[in-house]
Amino acid sequence: MTSAGLYTEGGYLENNKTWHAEDSPWKAKQILRILEKNHIQPKVVYEVGCGAGEVLNQLYQQLPASVEFHGYDISPQAFQLAKAREKDRLTFHQEDLLEKDFQCDVLMIIDVIEHVEDYYTFLRKLKGKAEYKILHVPLDLSVQAVLRMKPILEVRRNVGHIHYFVKQTALASLQEAGYEIVDYFYTAGSVELSSKSFKAKLLRYPRRLLFALDQDFTARVLGGYSLLILAR
């Protein structure tokens, strides 16, 4: 199955029944943080690869009532989940956003580029569509992940990650695609989100302690972090 086929043929939903909607309030919180930190007040927000649409739904509830939200996903299964959340000023479309002619203030690319075979072309095609782009990129490469290998193979098999980043390569990839980095910070999903894995729970305490001392070192060695990036 191709990487795109995982999302269009039902395989992703089979592995991830909720399409990670339970993590959406936390993701929306990170997005609001970077918007507020940089004094950005969007009027039109688009999301590519919106999945179940719950991140947009959370933002809809917390941003001003004048803001329009539009979510796009190529997956028919994701679209059915998202469609149930549709309302005035919040619409969802089962289409390839790369083929659309649009302009917006903020384009969200949340946990997407690690799934895209040619993410450079993907990023370049989207660059001129919005003044600001917000990306959330999982940092799957760490010392403990490479030593064990199981975490990398699991995200490849279960959630379709075919590219693996550290902070520096994520930022460099965006710059090489022509983006200007405005701001970024780590997000600590492994610490702040609930986990069924005993090992993940066990690592929460050293991650939290070491992260307070050295963020880059902790992300590189223990992993479990993502990067939220604001770019032009």
What is the structure's pLDDT at 206?
93
What is the structure's pLDDT at 199?
72
Among 81, 87, 77, 26, residue whose Cα is nearest residue 55: 26
Q: Which residues pair with 93 in a beta bridge?
A: 72
Residues 92-136 have pLDDT tens digits of: 999 999 999 999 999 999 999 999 999 999 999 999 999 999 999
Interatomic CA distance for residues 169 and 139, integer angstroms: 9
* Both structure tokens of 57: 């739904």
> Mind listing the domains of the chain with CATH numbers?
3-140+162-193+226-231 (3.40.50.150)
What is the structure's pLDDT at 14?
75
**Average pLDDT per 10 consecutive residues for the chain, totaling 232 residues:** 67 76 96 99 98 98 98 95 97 96 98 98 98 99 96 93 98 99 97 77 89 97 98 98
* Both structure tokens of 55: 């991140």
* Both structure tokens of 129: 């569509």
Radius of gyration of the chain (CA): 17
Interatomic CA distance for residues 6 and 115, integer angstroms: 10
Residue 136, SS3 per DSSP: strand
What is the structure's pLDDT at 19?
77
